Amino acid sequence: MDTKFNKRGQLGSLAPAILGLVFAAIVLVFGLVISQELRDTQEAGSDAYQAANDTMAGLASFSDFWTIIVLAVVITIVIGLLLVVFGGAGRKAR
């Protein structure tokens, strides 16, 4: 049975995780900035001000977990790289 171990293909499968993490960070930052600007243009106590304030509080709560999310993705990437580097050492095409 002829099997081939393709390291390049396995490293390429990590790219979506990295791109997803970057995209999520951009969305979080833009969401916070836009909500803050919307809130600052409204009169305090109005419905729009309260909605923007609630949105900012929600995004701020989510950002508390951002460190855990980033850490989980980084650990996944490192484990994937370790499996690519050390997993192919014993495999040979027969």
Domain boundaries, given as residue ranges, for the chain? 7-86
Choose among 28, 21, 23, 22: nearest CA to 55: 28
User: pTM here?
Assistant: 0.53
Distance CA(14)–CA(84), nearest Å, equals 11
Residues 6-64 have pLDDT tens digits of 555 556 666 787 788 788 888 888 878 887 887 778 778 888 888 888 888 887 787 78
Burial grade of 46 (CB within 10 A; 0-12, 13-18, 19 or more): exposed
Whether 91 has a pLDDT exceeding 60, the answer reads: no
Distance CA(40)–CA(90), nearest Å, equals 61
